[in-house]
C-alpha cells in the first residue's frame, strides 16, 4: 500500500543522505521524496512517498524516528489529507493541435508557462490521479519532457489531530 | 582562558571519565598528541586502527564504560570501519575520533582526505563533523551521551585539523546534555507489563530468552530473581551468555543455529517466550515461520525497531530491560503469583531433552580413543588424519575438550575470567562448552561476526581490568587477521593468554563445504602458517604447543598461571564439526546432531 510520510528533520549537512541511506540500506522503497525549508531555520520538512505492507511501514516509521536528526514522523495514511504535486510538461503543439491542448489545459486548470514555435510548457498541479490523467491525455501530442516535484501533503483541518500521539 | 581545540577536546573526553584512549597518530591529529601530556589519560598505541576500535570495544564490553579511539584522517579513518560496524551490530558504546584535513580543504581530494561521515553513516548510531571550535564541546558531550544511552552504539566524530588549533575561551559547561530530537524512552508501559504478568501467570511452559541487551542494561540480577522465584527456564543468545548463571539448573544454554539441543527444543515447544534485550537475529530464530510456533511472545527491548522486525510478538514492551523486569517483579508480587509457574511436566520435559542429547558429557567422554602417538606436527596429508579418526584413533586433541579444560582451570562462579573469542568454530565451542557465570565475561562479535576481533578485544579488556585473567580463544584463521596487535600486547605488558584451536583450516567454512558442498574444500586450507610458538617468542612473549591430549591440561595450567602474555598453539582434530547445527532455512527443532 502507498503511504505518504511527513518527516521533520534537523537542518544539518548530511540529513538527506541519512534518510535516503536508511531507505536504500534496508531495502525500503521511495517513490518520491521532497525536501524544503520550514519557517524554522533549524528544520527542514520532507515528504516521502513509499509503499509496503503494514509490517514494513511500521519498520520504516520506527527506523526514521531512530535517526538522531529526525524530529517527527507522521504517516498520513491514517488520516484525511490533502495531497498535491506540481508538474511541468513540455508537449508538442504544432499549429493544428495547439487549440486542443489549450482547451485541455483549461479543463485541468493548468497554466501555460512557456510557449515555443512547436511546443508548450504546461504547469499542472493536483493529486497523482489528476496528473496521470493529464499525461495520458497529452500523450498523443508528444510529451517531450516532464519535471515533477513529488508529493507534498498536509492533514485536513476538520479531523482529530493524531500527530501528537504519533510523534 | 583561551584554550586550543585540542585542549578542549581532551578536557571534554577526560570529563566523561575516560582514562584510556586507543589510538594511532597521524598528520592531522598531532595537536591532540601535543596536548595529551597535560591530561590524566593513557594513550595506548595500537599497531593498526582496526585493533584500536576492537580494543576500545573489548574495553567497553568488559567494563561497561564507553570505549574511546583516536585515529588520523584518510586510511586511519577507513581502517576503523570494520571495528565500528562490529560495535554497531552488538550495540557497544564507543566514541571514535578521526582527524580530517582542514575545513577549507574538504572536498578537494586532499592528502589523506576521505568522506568518513559518508562511509560510516550506515554503521554508526550517529556521526558528527565539527565545523568550528565553538561547536566542539557540545558535539563531544553529545557523542558520549548518544553512545551510551538508549540502545548503545558507536558514534564517530570527525575533527578537521583547523578546529584543533583554533582557540577560544572555554569553561566546561555544567548543565547536562539535552537534545531536542533524541530522548530514549526508558520507562516501561505498565499496562503492557500487566499483560505480561497475566501471560506469565497463565503459562505452563514459560521460557526466558536472554539477549545482549540484558547485559547492557545490567538486568542479569533481575532475570535471575524472576527465573529462580518462578522456576522459569532460561535460554540465551550468544550475546546474552553470562547474564544468567550458566551453571544454574534452569539454564539451558545458547539457542540458535549452533544452539544446545534442549534450548532449541524448549523454544520450539514453550507456550510463553519472554524475550529480553534480544532482537531475533536470523542465527537465533532459524526459519522464522517455525520459530516458537506454540508460544505467546513477550518482547522487552529498548529499541522500538527491534520489535516486530522479524518475529511477530503478542506483548511488546519498549523500555530499559532492567526497569521493565523490576517493574514486572513488582506486579507479579502484587498479584500474589507464587511458586513455580512452570508445570512439573515442562521441567521434566526439559530434563528429558537434556538426557536425550547431553552437551558436556558427550564430548568429554571417551567416545574417541585418544592416542598420544607423539605426533608433533601437522602431517602433509590431512586426509590421512580423517582416516585415522574414522578408525577411532584421533591423534589430535578434541577442540571441545580444550574449552572444557579451560573452564576447569579458569572458569566457575569464583573466577571472573574474561574470555574473548574470534569468529568461527572455536567461538561456537566456547559458547557451548564454557558456562559463563558473570555478565561481561564473554567478549565476542555476535552480530557482524568479525574474525580478528578477539585479540585486540582481549587487549582492551585487559587494560580495563588489569588484575583479571583475560583469554582470547582463537582459531588459526582468525588469529592471523589482527596478529599485529601482539606488538601492542608486548609493549604494554598485557598478560593476555591466547589459546589457538589450530585445525589448519578455516573450520566453519570447511564444515559448510563438508555438509552442503560435498566436501569440495576450496580456499579453506591453512597449511602454511607461522610457527606460533616462535612468533610469540619473536614478540618477546611465551609460546607453548600442544599436539596430543595428554599435554593439554598441564600445558594450559602452566600457560594460564604465567604472569606474561602467552600463545598456546593447540593442534586439534582438523575435521571436527560444530553440533548441533540448524541448516539454513530450517526450524530450530530440525537440528543435525552428528
Hey, what domains does chain A have and what are their CATH numbers?
Answer: 2-78 (3.30.70.260), 82-152 (3.30.70.1150)
Alpha-carbon distance B176 to nearest alpha carbon in chain A (angstroms): 18
Q: What is the mean pLDDT of each run of 10 residues along chain B (594 residues)?
A: 95 96 98 97 98 98 98 98 98 98 95 97 97 97 97 98 96 92 94 97 97 97 97 98 96 96 97 97 94 96 95 96 97 92 96 87 36 36 40 73 96 91 98 96 98 98 97 98 98 98 97 96 96 98 96 97 97 95 93 88
Q: Residue B161 to residues B27, B164, B400: CA-CA distances in angstroms?
A: 9, 5, 51
pLDDT computed for residue A160 by the predictor: 66
DSSP letter for A115, please: E
Question: Cell numbers 585493533 correspond to what residue?
Answer: B51
Structural fold of domain B190-352: Rossmann fold (3.40.50)
A59/B181 CB distance under 8 A: no
b/e string for B405-444 if b means 16 or more Cβ within 10 A?
bbbebbbeeeebbbbbbbbbbbbbbbbbbbbbbbbbbbbb
pTM, 2 dp? 0.92
Choose among B129, B180, B308: nearest Cβ to A55.
B308
Choose among B118, B122, B305: nearest Cβ to A66.
B305
- C-beta separation of A67 from A18 below 8 A: yes
d(CA A57, CA A155): 19
Q: What is the ipTM of this complex?
A: 0.88
Question: Cell numbers 589457538 correspond to what residue?
Answer: B500
Q: Residue B87 to residues A119, B68, B151, B228, B330: CA-CA distances in angstroms?
A: 58, 12, 12, 32, 34
List, in sequence order, every residue forming a beta bridge with B315; answer none if it has no partner: B298
Of the candidates B16, B8, B45, B22, the one whose C-alpha atom is nearest the C-alpha of residue B130 is B8
Of the candidates B77, B60, B79, the one whose C-alpha atom is nearest the C-alpha of residue B68 is B60
pLDDT digits (tens, 9 = 90+) for A19-53: 999 999 999 999 999 999 999 999 999 999 999 99
Q: Which three cell numbers stand for residue B70?
A: 583516536
B121/A68 CB distance under 8 A: no
d(CA B18, CA B363): 44
d(CA B551, CA B545): 9
List, in sequence order, every residue forming a beta bridge with B21; answer none if it has no partner: B43
φ/ψ (deg, to 5) at B81:
-60, -45
Q: Which three cell numbers stand for residue B17?
A: 571519565
- C-beta separation of B494 from B92 below 8 A: no
* Rg over CA atoms, chain B: 25
Question: Cell numbers 520450539 correspond to what residue?
Answer: B268
| Cβ neighbours around B283 below 10 Å, total | 18
Q: Which chain A residue lies closest to B182 (C-alpha atoms)?
A: A68
Instruction: List chain B residues with CB under 8 Å of A63.
Output: 305
d(CA A80, CA A58): 19
Query: For chain A, which ranges sit under pLDDT 50?
Result: 167
A71/B181 CB distance under 8 A: yes
Strand order in the sheet with B20-23: B42-45, B20-23, B67-71, B94-100, B154-160, B126-129
Domains B190-352 and B363-571 equal at CATH topology level = yes
d(CA A52, CA A77): 12
Q: Is B367 exposed, middle or buried (0-12, 13-18, 19+ CB in 10 A)?
A: exposed
Of the candidates B120, B97, B25, B79, the one whose C-alpha atom is nearest the C-alpha of residue B482 is B79
Three-state DSSP string of B219-239:
CHHHHHHHHHHHCCCEEECHH
- For the B2-169 domain, the top CATH level (class) is alpha beta
Sign of CA dihedral B22, B26, B30, B32: negative
pLDDT computed for residue A13 by the predictor: 87
d(CA B528, CA B577): 22
Structural fold of domain B363-571: Rossmann fold (3.40.50)
Instruction: List chain A residues with CB under 8 Å of B303.
Output: 66
Domain ranges across chain B: 2-169, 190-352, 363-571
A66/B146 CB distance under 8 A: no
- In B5-80, where does DSSP find H-type helix? 5-15, 30-35, 49-63, 75-78
DSSP letter for B505, please: B
pLDDT digits (tens, 9 = 90+) for B348-374: 999 999 999 887 644 443 333 333 333
Amino acid at each position: 500500500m502507498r503511504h505518504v510520510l511527513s518527516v521533520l528533520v534537523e537542518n544539518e549537512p548530511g540529513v538527506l543522505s541519512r534518510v535516503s541511506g536508511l531507505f536504500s540500506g534496508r531495502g525500503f522503497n521511495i517513490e518520491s521524496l521532497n525536501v524544503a525549508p520550514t519557517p524554522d531555520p533549524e528544520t527542514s520538512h520532507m515528504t516521502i512517498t513509499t509503499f509496503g505492507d503494514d509490517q514494513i511501514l511500521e519498520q520504516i516509521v520506527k527506523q526514521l524516528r531512530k535517526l538522531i536528526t529526525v524530529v517527527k514522523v507522521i504517516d498520513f495514511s491514517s488520516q484525511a489529507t490533502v495531497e498535491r504535486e506540481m508538474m511541468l510538461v513540455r508537449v508538442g503543439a504544432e499549429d493544428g493541435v495547439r487549440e486542443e491542448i489549450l482547451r485541455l489545459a483549461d479543463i485541468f486548470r493548468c497554466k501555460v508557462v512557456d510557449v515555443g514555435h512547436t511546443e508548450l510548457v504546461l504547469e499542472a498541479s493536483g493529486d497523482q490521479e489528476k496528473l496521470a490523467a493529464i499525461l495520458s491525455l497529452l500523450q498523443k501530442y508528444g510529451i517531450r519532457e516532464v519535471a515533477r516535484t513529488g508529493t507534498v501533503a498536509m492533514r485536513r483541518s476538520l479531523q482529530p489531530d493524531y500527530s501528537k500521539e504519533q510523534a | 582562558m583561551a584554550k586550543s581545540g585540542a585542549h578542549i577536546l581532551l578536557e571534554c573526553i577526560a570529563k566523561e571519565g575516560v582514562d584510556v584512549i586507543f589510538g594511532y597518530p597521524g598528520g592531522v591529529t598531532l595537536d591532540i598528541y601535543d596536548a595529551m601530556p597535560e591530561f590524566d589519560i593513557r594513550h595506548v598505541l595500537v599497531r593498526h586502527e582496526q585493533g584500536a576500535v576492537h580494543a576500545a570495544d573489548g574495553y567497553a564490553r568488559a567494563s561497561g564504560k564507553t570505549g574511546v579511539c583516536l585515529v588520523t584522517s584518510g586510511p586511519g579513518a577507513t581502517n576503523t570501519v570494520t571495528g565500528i560496524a562490529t560495535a554497531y551490530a552488538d550495540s557497544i558504546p564507543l566514541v571514535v575520533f578521526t582527524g580530517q584535513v582542514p575545513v577549507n580543504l574538504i572536498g578537494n581530494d586532499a592528502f589523506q582526505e576521505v568522506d568518513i561521515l559518508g562511509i560510516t553513516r550506515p554503521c554508526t548510531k550517529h556521526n558528527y563533523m565539527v565545523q568550528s571550535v565553538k561547536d566542539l564541546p557540545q558535539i563531544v558531550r553529545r557523542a558520549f551521551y548518544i553512545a551510551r544511552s538508549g540502545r548503545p552504539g558507536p558514534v564517530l566524530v570527525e575533527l578537521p585539523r583547523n578546529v584543533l588549533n583554533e582557540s577560544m575561551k572555554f569553561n566546561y559547561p555544567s548543565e547536562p546534555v539535552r537534545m531536542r530530537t533524541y530522548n530514549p524512552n526508558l520507562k516501561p508501559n505498565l499496562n503492557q507489563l500487566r499483560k505480561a504478568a497475566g501471560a506469565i501467570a497463565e503459562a505452563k511452559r514459560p521460557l526466558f530468552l536472554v539477549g545482549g541487551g540484558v547485559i547492557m542494561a545490567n538486568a542479569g540480577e533481575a532475570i535471575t530473581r524472576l527465573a529462580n522465584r518462578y522456576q522459569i527456564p532460561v535460554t540465551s543468545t550468544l550475546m546474552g551468555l553470562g547474564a544468567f548463571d550458566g551453571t544454574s539448573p534452569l539454564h539451558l544454554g545458547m539457542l540458535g543455529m549452533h544452539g544446545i539441543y534442549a534450548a532449541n527444543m524448549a523454544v520450539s515447544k514453550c507456550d510463553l517466550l519472554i524475550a529480553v534485550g534480544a532482537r531475533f537475529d536470523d542465527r537465533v530464530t532459524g526459519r522464522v515461520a517455525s520459530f516458537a510456533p506454540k508460544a505467546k511472545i513477550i518482547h522487552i527491548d529498548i529499541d522500538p525497531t527491534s520489535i516486530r522486525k522479524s518475529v511477530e510478538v503478542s506483548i511488546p514492551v519498549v523500555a530499559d530491560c532492567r526497569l521493565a523486569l523490576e517493574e514486572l517483579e513488582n506486579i507479579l508480587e502484587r498479584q500474589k503469583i507464587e511458586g513455580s509457574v512452570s508445570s512439573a511436566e515442562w521441567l521434566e520435559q526439559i530434563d528429558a531433552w537434556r538426557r536425550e542429547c547431553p552437551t558436556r558429557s558427550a564430548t568429554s567422554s571417551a567416545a574417541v580413543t585418544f592416542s598420544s602417538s607423539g605426533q608433533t606436527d601437522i602431517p602433509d596429508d590431512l586426509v590421512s588424519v580423517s582416516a585415522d579418526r574414522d578408525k577411532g584413533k584421533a591423534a589430535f586433541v578434541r577442540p571441545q575438550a580444550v574449552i572444557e579444560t579451560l573452564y576447569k582451570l579458569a572458569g566457575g562462579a569464583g573466577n571472573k575470567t574474561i574470555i574473548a573469542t574470534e569468529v568461527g568454530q572455536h567461538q561456537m565451542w566456547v559458547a557451548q562448552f564454557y558456562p559463563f557465570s558473570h555478565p561481561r565475561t564473554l567478549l565476542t562479535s555476535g552480530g557482524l561476526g568479525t574474525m580478528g576481533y578477539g585479540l585486540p578485544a582481549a587487549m582492551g579488556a585487559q587494560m580495563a581490568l588489569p588484575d583479571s585473567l583475560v583469554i582470547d580463544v582463537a582459531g588459526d584463521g582468525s588469529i592471523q587477521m589482527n596478529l599485529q596487535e601482539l606488538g601492542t600486547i608486548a609493549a604494554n605488558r598485557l598478560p593476555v593468554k591466547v589459546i589457538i584451536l589450530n585445525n589448519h583450516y578455516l573450520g566453519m567454512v570447511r564444515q559448510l563445504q563438508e555438509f552442503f558442498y560435498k566436501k569440495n574444500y576450496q580456499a579453506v586450507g591453512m597449511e602454511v602458517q607461522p610457527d606460533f610458538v616462535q612468533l610469540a617468542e619473536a614478540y618477546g612473549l611465551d609460546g607453548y604447543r600442544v599436539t596430543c591430549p595428554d599435554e593439554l591440561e598441564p600445558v594450559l595450567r602452566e600457560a594460564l598461571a604465567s604472569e606474561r602474555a602467552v600463545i598456546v598453539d593447540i593442534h586439534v582434530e582438523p575435521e571436527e564439526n560444530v553440533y548441533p547445527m540448524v541448516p539454513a532455512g530450517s526450524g530450530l527443532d530440525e537440528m543435525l546432531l552428528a
